[in-house]
Chain A
Amino acid sequence: MEMKDKTKKTPVRKSQEKKSDKYYYASQWQLMGRKFRKHKLAMISAFVLMIFYLIAILGNFIAPQGTEQYDGKYVNCAPTPVHLFHEGKFVGPFVYGLKMERDPVTYMAHFAEDTEKICRLRFFTEGDEGGEYKWFGLIPSNIHLFKAEDGKVFLFGTDNMGRDLFSRVVLGAQISLFIPVAGMLMTLVLGLAIGSLAGYFGGWVDTVIQRIIEVVRSFPQVPLWMALSAAIPKTMKPAQVFMLMTVILSLVSWPGLARVVRSKFISVKKEDFIMAARISGAPADKLITRHMIPSFLSYIIVDMTMAIPGLIIGETTLSFLGLGLRSPATSWGVLLQETNKLETIMFYNWKLIPMIFVFLSVLAFNFMGDGLRDAADPYK
């Protein structure tokens, strides 16, 4: 009864090669990518977030004004619409000049379009004085994406100091979108390290870490945030405040992650492939870094993604309460500080625009997390 190699004689079945070779050579992350791309909503969300982050990174260039620029002449100006046609003729993108009018009854000042005056938009041009910035903190420049010739363009209107809200939203995104991510990365490092220790070694190490986690988690989160944030000296530079905010956020959130990591460790320890690696002589560090952490990292990343919206809202809340960043530093929370008056909502409702961005980014992160969760275990 000898073996005969039949495959040489007969042609290889087409169906055997049906699934493309790429699939066979695809690593976990590639497989996850394939699955993620099938989740339409998550893909759209990922695209939206990509644009948000791109805008934030290129913020100084995209925003027509710097954070500290203001114009006392244009206080509480409504958004200026961008037109393409003037009296039926195509002129290209432009805004009309602005003239101040007073309401004959309430005497409230507001700005109206001066249709006599056409201010064309110029792209990639030198900005106004005070708009200087450095590319990535290195190369000084004053080139901005757009600017109205001899006039003002306020896409989202201005605030009560005459600062362009659009510029502030764009620059605020830098902080509102990056603090949560930085906080998460720090949480990830802390949570992974501490959770791994507890889960891998068990015994008294585990007990001690568990107790610490319980103690930290017993503090009510929001008051703790508030207390820590309130302790930030008012004289600190925005960059330092940023760092501190990150640390505060991650100090509060690492225990949750450490707990997840610990339980994942305990369950993965029983897996056959871990025992197989141990029997083949893998030392503890290799077991942890090559087999155990990779086996659940995708789940952790999903957890993290789902936690970012909480942090965005956390930062917004703190700043809104005046406990996080303060003017002149800008974040979406800081911008929303102005909305705590009734008149804002009645007369200056454009000042609520930053809220749309908080809303969109939180939603997008949630949808993306959803897609990632579906893709997290491609071997099912």
Chain B
Amino acid sequence: MDNVLLEIKHLSKVYEGKGVNVKALSDVSLTVERGETIGIVGESGCGKTTLGRCVVRGIDATSGEVLFHTDEGVIDFLKIKGAQMKKYRKDIQMIFQDPYASLDPRMTVFDIISEPLRYNTNLSNREIELAVEKIAEQVGLNKAYLRRYPHAFSGGQRQRIGIARSLILQPKLIVCDEAVSALDVSIQAQIINLLEDLQKEYNLTYLFISHALSVVRHISDRVMVMYLGRVVEFGKTEELFAEPRHPYTKALLSAVPQPDPDILVDRIILEGEVPNPANPPSGCHFHPRCAYATERCSKEAPPLEEQDGRLVACWNCEACRNKE
């Protein structure tokens, strides 16, 4: 068996509205290896959440494939049905951003965590009970509180419940959609460490979607930067953060306020706003805000090309690198 777990190929999603079609995701490809964490960053409207939801089949992608490497060969996760669906559905799970909206307030914590087991396995009640207790202990939930309802818990504890639910089917891949963004700083660290510990223990693979760059840098092995539905840069975390190549990545990284008054980054303040995804700029979507934009940028969209181990979509990479 190769080390590849998932191949996302040319994934696109178009939201059809009244008169306007919003291309939330256009032609995104990505190969994910077993046990790694891929960070997906970008600002609102960049398509990172859509990407995550398409991969877990929370929403239906418009086109493209999500090839899932199993023991029985490669299957397209987006097309499986029936028995195959029952068998592999559990392998790709998700942790949600909002620990309040993602737990059904009418169910006890035990019912929430055990629900996936009831749909996907034929375990007896006793076995389910043991499994839930085991997972609860692992994510740091007090067993004694399992019969309580979610409203008894704080944000961080709720996120632990969500993690327990996504973990109980022993998935291969977990999509973490802004999993720590809604949490307070001190709780955020608890959850990040928990995710890292669980990854080691179960050899989990994460798609870590977040707008918090420092968190993504901490947790990811490789990072993908998205802008208005397209990938603009993709590379190893250390390298990408040390030396961003796409002008957007540069601006994004420099905009992060550092918790140290002495670090005075030479801020690149971007002009303007993220354009409306329903009506994106022509050519390279970033060109109206880009300091290096040339005429070509407004006409042709740059392809995502490899430059010594890094994927970048920019016509003027060399130019903007030389400028430094």
Tell me the A residues contacting B by CB distance below 8 Å.
23-28, 31, 271-273, 275-283, 286, 291, 294-295, 379
Known contacts A24-B148, A24-B149, A281-B86; is-contact A276 B102 (Cβ 8 Å): yes
A279 and B106 contacting across the interface, CB-CB below 8 Å: no
Asked if B116 CB lies within 8 Å of chain A CBs, one says yes
Give the residues in chain B near A27, CB-CB below 8 Å.
106, 149
Give the residues in chain B near A279, CB-CB below 8 Å.
56-58, 89, 93-94
Known contacts A279-B56, A280-B116, A282-B119; is-contact A272 B105 (Cβ 8 Å): no
A290 to chain B, nearest CB (A): 8
Known contacts A272-B96, A280-B115; is-contact A24 B152 (Cβ 8 Å): yes
CA–CA, A282 and B104, complex, Å: 13
Asked if B90 CB lies within 8 Å of chain A CBs, one says yes
A280 and B101 contacting across the interface, CB-CB below 8 Å: no
CA–CA, A279 and B54, complex, Å: 11
B18 to chain A, nearest CB (A): 15
Given contacts A280-B169, A295-B104, 12 further A-B contacts (CB under 8 A): A25-B149, A28-B105, A28-B106, A271-B101, A272-B97, A273-B102, A273-B104, A279-B58, A279-B94, A280-B115, A281-B116, A379-B151
CA–CA, A28 and B104, complex, Å: 11
Give the residues in chain A near B116, CB-CB below 8 Å.
280-281
Query: Restricting to B133-155, which residues have a CB under 8 Å from any CB of A?
Result: 145, 147-149, 151-152
B97 to chain A, nearest CB (A): 8
B138 to chain A, nearest CB (A): 14
Tell me the B residues contacting A by CB distance below 8 Å.
53, 56-58, 86, 89-90, 93-94, 96-98, 101-106, 115-116, 119-120, 145, 147-149, 151-152, 162, 165, 169
Q: Among the listed A31, A272, A278, which residue makes an inter-chain contact with B98, where contact means beta carbons less than 8 Å apart?
A: A272
Give the residues in chain A near B120, CB-CB below 8 Å.
280-281
A272 and B102 contacting across the interface, CB-CB below 8 Å: yes
A-B pair number, CB within 8 angstroms: 70
The residue on A at minimum CB distance from B177 is A272
B16 to chain A, nearest CB (A): 13
The residue on A at minimum CB distance from B193 is A3
Known contacts A28-B105, A291-B104; is-contact A276 B165 (Cβ 8 Å): yes
Give the residues in chain B near A28, CB-CB below 8 Å.
105-106, 149
A275 and B151 contacting across the interface, CB-CB below 8 Å: no
Give the residues in chain B near A291, CB-CB below 8 Å.
104
A276 and B94 contacting across the interface, CB-CB below 8 Å: yes
B104 and A280 contacting across the interface, CB-CB below 8 Å: no
Give the residues in chain A near B148, CB-CB below 8 Å.
24-25
Give the residues in chain A near B152, CB-CB below 8 Å.
23-25
The residue on B at minimum CB distance from A26 is B149
B102 and A25 contacting across the interface, CB-CB below 8 Å: no
Give the residues in chain A near B90, CB-CB below 8 Å.
280-281
B159 to chain A, nearest CB (A): 12
Give the residues in chain B near A276, CB-CB below 8 Å.
94, 96, 102-103, 162, 165
CA–CA, A282 and B145, complex, Å: 25
The residue on B at minimum CB distance from A25 is B148
A272 to chain B, nearest CB (A): 4
B106 and A294 contacting across the interface, CB-CB below 8 Å: yes
B209 to chain A, nearest CB (A): 14
Give the residues in chain A near B147, CB-CB below 8 Å.
25
CA–CA, A275 and B102, complex, Å: 8
Give the residues in chain B near A295, CB-CB below 8 Å.
104, 106
CA–CA, A334 and B103, complex, Å: 52
Please list 7 pairs of residues, one from A and one from B, whose beta carbons are closer than 8 Å in the complex, sorted by A's number: A23-B152, A24-B148, A272-B96, A275-B96, A276-B103, A286-B119, A295-B104
A281 and B105 contacting across the interface, CB-CB below 8 Å: no
